[in-house]
Amino acid sequence: MTTEPQAEPQVTDNPAASRFEIRLAADDAEPAGFVEYHLSGGEIAFLHTETGPGHEGQGLAATLVRAALDSARRRQLAVLPYCPFVRVWIARNREYTDLVPVDRRVRFDL
């Protein structure tokens, strides 16, 4: 019995909903999770991260946050991690700390 390899989860920006979404398959109607944001000028504030029922504990939120932060870096946006999950993720992945403005890092315990 052979098992087909799992496709990598896909993260996309949904500007109309102000959130990045993660889907397990490109044709999934509903995302497995999302991170909400508010974009203002040169800043992106991450507000809330959520994975759907049955998708917790699979590393999807971490994949989602990494992709959202990589997008912020490409777009040269300053990151304001109001979401506790995003804040802790950055604290554990110090190579992303530079995205948070120096004068705001104390506010976010970074």
Domains of the chain in start order, with CATH, are: 10-104 (3.40.630.30)
- Dihedrals phi, psi of 8, to nearest 5 degrees: -70, 140
When the pLDDT of each residue in the chain is averaged and rounded to a whole number, the result is 93
Pairing type for strands 78-81 and 43-51 reads: parallel
How far apart CA 5 and CA 8 sit, in angstroms, is 9
The list of the chain residues with pLDDT below 70 reads 1-7
pLDDT at site 55: 87
Q: Could you tell me the pTM of the whole model?
A: 0.91
The confidence score (pLDDT) of residue 79 equals: 98
E-assigned strands of 25-106?
A: 33-40, 43-51, 78-81
- Name residues whose C-beta falls within 8 Å of residue 66's C-beta, 6 or more positions apart in sequence: 89, 93
Give the pLDDT confidence score for residue 86 in this predicted structure: 98
Q: Say what the pLDDT of residue 3 is.
A: 47
Q: What pLDDT, on the 0 to 100 scale, is given for residue 35?
A: 98
**Which pLDDT value is given to residue 2?**
46
Task: Please provide the size of the chain in residues.
Answer: 110
Other Cβ atoms within 10 Å of 12 Cβ, number: 13
